[in-house]
Amino acid sequence: MLVHAINHKNLKQAALCLQAGGLVAFPTETVYGLGAMATNATAVARIFSAKQRPQFNPLISHFSSAEAALSAGQSNDAAAHLAAAFWPGPMTLILQKPANSLITALASAGGDTIAIRVPSHPAALDLLARVNAPVVAPSANPSGTISPSKAEHVVNGLGAACDMILDGGPCESGIESTVIDCRQERPILLRPGPLTPKQIADQTGIELEISKPLEQASQAVSPGQIESHYAPRAPVRLNAENKLQDEIYIGFGPSKTGLKPDFNLSEQANLVEAASNLFAILHEADALGKAAIAFAPIPMAGLGLAINDRISRAAAPRTF
Ligand code: TXA
Ligand code: MG
C-alpha cells in the first residue's frame, strides 16, 4: 500500500523508511514534500531522479526544532531573530554551510549554502522528530509541474517514485514557503510565500531586501529570467478580463463583467483562500485538456504577490 493515514504506526514506519534511504511524501502546512534523509546521498539523488529536477536546483532541509536547524548552518542575529519569530512555520532560511556539514553536497547542489526550515504541520514535526536527522523535501511533484496540495496530487505525479505517501488531507496554505537569504546583515527575499515581508517587518522590525522588482511578476516575464517551474501543461494567460475560445477561465472574487468563471480562486476575493485553492484548481483546470488557462487579475498586495509570482511562472516559457 502506498498511501497511509497519519497515525503512530504509520509515522513510525515512515521514519524507519526514511532512515533506510527510502522516499516518503508527507504533508506540510505549505505543500506536500518528497522527503529523503539529508545525510544519505543516494536517497537525495533518488529525489532528483524522481522529480527529473535539474541538479543545480538545491533542496530544503527540514528539522523538528529551530535549534537543530540553525546549528546546521552558520547562524547569525538575523537568522536567530527570524527563527524565533516564525518557526515552526512557512519560512525557509538560506545560511552559509559549515565545512563539516553532515548534509550531503547534493542537497546544496554542490554550493556552499544550505536551506533550512522547521515546518509547523504536526505530522511533519512528528515524523522529523522520529527520524532524528534533517530531511530534504522539495515539493512532491515532477520538476516543472504544479506543486501538490493534496495526497492525490502526489499519487498522480510521483506515485511510482514514492516508497510511502502520508495523507494529511489538503495543505493549509497550498503555497510554498517564503525563502529568505540570511547570509548578510540585511536578509533578502528570494521567493515570496505565505509569510509576507510586511508581517516580517511588523513582527521583527527586519525590512527584507526584495531580490527582484515585485512588479515584474505582473508583467510578461523575459525568458531565462525566471525559470518555468510551476507550469501546467496548458499555456497560461494572466490578467485576463475575458474568456477566449477553448480556454479555461479562472476567476478571482465576484465577476465584474457577468462572465461566469470555470473556477474561482475565491468567490469572496480572499487572498488566503485563493492561495490555498491555487494549485488544486490549476491541477483540475489542466486536466480538462483545453487549449489555454486564463487567470483574472489578482491584486498585487499581501499574499497576492506570491500568487502572482506563481502564476507568472506558470506563464513563463518552459526551460526544461
Ligand atoms: O514550502 C516549501 O518550501 C516546500 C515544503 C515541502 O517544505 N518545499 C519546497 O521545496 O518548495 P522546493 O525544492 O520545491 O523549492 C525550494 C526552493 C527552490 O526555489 C530552491 O531553488 C530554493 O528553495 N533553495 C533551496 N536551497 C537553496 C539554497 N541553498 N540557496 C538558494 N535557494 C535555495
Ligand atoms: Mg518545487
Give the mutation target among 59, 128, 229, 279 for probing the ligand 1 site: most ligand atoms within 8 A of CB: 59
The predicted pLDDT at position 103 comes to 93
Looking at residue 113, the DSSP 8-state letter turns out to be E
The CB of 177 under 6 Å from ligand 1? The reply is yes
C-alpha–C-alpha distance, residues 152 and 89, integer Å: 23
pTM higher than 0.85 = no
With beta carbons less than 8 A apart as the criterion, state whether 24 and 163 touch.
yes
Could you give the 3-state DSSP secondary structure of residue 253?
coil
The CB of 240 under 6 Å from ligand 1? The reply is no
Distance in Å, CA 254 to ligand 2 centroid:
31
pLDDT, one tens digit per residue, over 171-226 is 999 999 999 999 999 999 999 999 999 999 999 999 999 976 544 433 333 333 33
Give the mutation target among 23, 29, 60, 171 for probing the ligand 1 site: most ligand atoms within 8 A of CB: 60
Which residues sit with Cβ closer than 5 angstroms to ligand 2, an ion? Answer: 139
C-alpha–C-alpha distance, residues 104 and 130, integer Å: 20
In the chain, what is the straight-line distance between the N-terminal and C-terminal CA atoms, in Å?
A: 32
Which cell numbers hold the place of 51? 522529480
**Nearest bound ligand to CA 31?**
1
pLDDT, one tens digit per residue, over 70-93 is 999 999 999 999 999 999 999 999
Find out whether the peptide bond into 254 is cis, omega within 30 degrees of 0: no
Which residues of the chain, if any, have pLDDT below 50? 55-56, 214-230, 319-320
Distance in Å, CA 60 to ligand 1 centroid:
5
Distance in Å, CA 59 to ligand 2 centroid:
9
**Nearest bound ligand to CA 181?**
1
